[in-house]
Amino acid sequence: MKLSSALDLVSFTLPAGSAAERALARCHTVEDLRRLAARRLPRTVMDYIDGGADAELSLAGNTEAFARYRFTPAVLADVSAPDTATDFLGRTAAAPLGFAPTGFTRMINPDGEPAVARSAAAAGLPYVLSTMATTSLEDLAAQPAGDRWFQLYAWKDRARTLDLIRRAADAGYRVLELAVDTAVPGNRLRDVRSGFTIPPRLTASSLLDIGSKPGYWTKLLRAPDLEFANLSGGAADCGHGYTIENIGAQFNPALDWAGLAGLRAAWPGKLLLKGPVGPADAVRARDFGVDGVHLSNHGGRQLDRTVAPADLIAPVRQAVGEDFAVVVDSGIRHGADIAVALALGADLAMVGRPYLWALAAGGEAGVGHLADLLVSQFRRTMALLGVAGVAGLRRAGPQLLAGTPNPVPVLEGTP
C-alpha cells in the first residue's frame, strides 16, 4: 500500500458530543454500563444496587439460568424486516421489554424515577413505579404519557394499602403489581455491613465514600431531600433514616388469599402477582381473577436459594395456558435473554439493575441508551433465529431452544 493511501485511512477527527455522550457511546453491553456506573457511584450505593440476600446464590443463579440455554435457529426464513412490537394486556409495546420497579432511584441519580419513566415512554416500553419510590405516584403521572404501572407492597395498615390503590387508579396507572415475596425483609448483607440508610447517614465509612466520589455527593446535596415519596406520614423513621429493617417491619406478613380477593375487588385495572410464583399458585391466582404473574425473586434480594425465574416460565405457562399474562425479571442482561424468556413462554421481560446502572452512568440519556441496546440486541437475535416477529418466537420457542425443561406445546403456523 502506498503511503498516501495509508494516510487516507487515518482519521484525525475529534469525537463528537460531550464527554458523557462519548462515554455512553463506548458502552456496547449492559456490563459496560455497570462498569461506568461503578466509576461514578460510592461503594455503598453500588453495593445497594448489586447486592443480594445472604450468600447471593439466587443472585448468581438468575443470570446463570438464562445463560444455560442454547439456540437452534430456523434457517431460510424471511427476516428482512423483524418486528419487535408486541401486544400485552391490551396495549402495544415497542418490544417485549419493560422497566421493573426499583426503590430509592433518586439516590442513584437525582433525576430518579421521572428520568426512567421518560426514557421508557420514549422507547415505547412499560415502566413500573415502586411503592418505595423517591417520586410520588402523582408526580410521576405528570411526566410525558407512557404505559405506567404501580408495584404495591401490602401494609399492616390496610387503610394505607387501599389508599395507595386508590391513588394509583386516580393517577391513571394501568396495571397494579402486588408484591408477594416481602412478608419479611431479605437479609441483604452488603447493606447491613455498610449501614445503608435513606437518607444516607454520615459515618466514618460514608465520609470515606464522600472523599472518593465528590461529584456524586455534590449532585445529591444539591437535589431535594431523599424521601419515600408515597409514604409521607406513615412508616416509622426511628430517628436514624429508613433501613431495610424498619421499612420492612411495616409490610403485612399476614396477607393471604382472602386478602388478595379484597385487593382484587378494590383495583379496577389489570392485576399481576409479582414474586417467585410456582405453577400451582399461578393457577390459583388465575382462578381468583388475577390477570397474570410477574415471575421474580426480587433480583435475588429476598429469599436466597430461590429458583431462578427463568426456570419457572415454562412450567407456569404449561399450567395456566395461553390466555394468562406471564412477565419475568431477575437475570436479564442481553436481548438474547429476552428471546429465551419468550421462547420459554413469557409475554414480557423486565430489567431492574441494568437501568439503575445506566441511570448512574449517564442519567436519562443512559437509560435511553440501555433501551436502544437491549431492543437492538433482541431484534438481531430474532433475525438470526429465523423468526420475523414476537408471535412467531413464542410459537416456535421449544424448537429454537436446546435443553429446554418442561417444554410447552408448539402452536401451528410458525413463520
CA dist., res. 363 & res. 366, Å (int): 5
**Among this protein's residues, is 240 annotated catalytic?**
no
What pLDDT score does 52 carry? 94
409 preceded by a cis bond (ω within 30 of 0): no
Q: Coil, strand or helix: which one is 327?
A: strand
Q: How high is the pLDDT of residue 240?
A: 46
The CATH architecture of the domain made up of 25-190+243-402 is: Alpha-Beta Barrel (3.20)
pLDDT means per 10 residues in the chain (415 residues)? 62 70 95 97 93 95 96 95 96 98 94 97 98 95 93 94 97 97 88 76 66 83 86 51 70 93 96 97 96 97 96 97 96 98 98 98 97 98 97 94 54 33
Domain-wise residue ranges, the chain: 25-190+243-402
- Cα–chain center distance at 71: 24
Burial letters 274-308, b for 16+ CB under 10 A, else e: bbbbbbebbbebbeeebbbbbbbbbbbbbbbebbb
- Choosing from 28, 294, 298, 369, the catalytic residue is 298
pLDDT at residue 106 in the model: 94
pLDDT at position 367: 98
Which pLDDT belongs to residue 201? 66
Paired strand residues for 92:
87
